[in-house]
Amino acid sequence: MKVLILNGSPHKKGNTSFIAEKIKEVYAFESDTCYAYDIKDPCRDCKKCFEGESCSIEDEFTQILANIDTYDAIVVATPLYYNQPTGSMLSLLSRFQFFYGTNKKPKEKKAVIVVTGGGGSVVNSADAEKTLRIALMSVNAKVTAYIRSLNTDSIKAWDDETLTEQIRALDDIIF
C-alpha cells in the first residue's frame, strides 16, 4: 500500500503534522508527503491541460499528479482556518484541476480527512470536510474516514487521548 499524504499546516512539528506522522508510524505504509506550504503555485486556470498538455507548472507536485495512479490512498490533513482548510491546502488541491482538464480519471482510491482546530466543536469541521470531499472527487478518491482533533488551543494533538482510538479505527476502513 502506497499513500499520498497532503499536509496543509505551516507547522511541520504542529498538531496536524503530529497526527499525519502518527498514522504513518502506526500503519508503516510506503508514503510520499507533500507540504502545501512548500508548493508555491496554485492552478491559474491557464487551460494548457485542456489542450491535452501536461500541467504548465513544473514543480514537485506536477510529478505527484503524473504518478497519481501509484497511490492506493490519500490522507489529507489540514488545520481549520475560518472553518475551512488552510488557503495553502486549497491552493494545492486546485492543482487536481489537471485531471478535469485532461479528462483523466485516476484509479479509485480511499481517502482519510484529518482536521485540527483550535476551537472545540465538531460542527466547525463540517464545512471544511465538505470542501475536501469535493476536491478529492476530482482525483477519484472517496473519503472513508475522518480524524478530528478540534480543541488544540486547550489540548494539543500529542495530548489528545481520543486520537489513539481514532487512528486505530482506520485499520478496517482503509489500511
Ligand X SMILES: Cc1cc2nc3c(=O)[nH]c(=O)nc-3n(C[C@H](O)[C@H](O)[C@H](O)COP(=O)(O)O)c2cc1C
Q: Which residues bind ligand X (CB under 6 A)?
A: 9-11, 14-17, 79-83, 116-119, 124, 150, 152
Nearer to ligand X, 56 or 83 (CB): 83
Cα 53 to Cα 42: distance, rounded to the nearest angstrom? 17
State in angstroms the smallest separation of the CB of 3 from ligand X: 19
Around Cβ 85, how many Cβ atoms within 10 Å?
28
Nearer to ligand X, 15 or 166 (CB): 15
State in angstroms the smallest separation of the CB of 88 from ligand X: 11
State in angstroms the smallest separation of the CB of 98 from ligand X: 27
Nearer to ligand X, 152 or 166 (CB): 152
Closest CA to 174 of 117, 132, 113: 113
Instruction: Output the nine-digit C-alpha cell for 132.
Output: 475536501
Nearer to ligand X, 97 or 124 (CB): 124
Nearer to ligand X, 30 or 118 (CB): 118
State in angstroms the smallest separation of the CB of 149 from ligand X: 7
State in angstroms the smallest separation of the CB of 104 from ligand X: 32
Cβ atoms 84, 128 nearer than 8 A = yes
Ramachandran class of 83: left when φ > 0, alpha when ψ lies in -120 to 50, beta otherwise: left
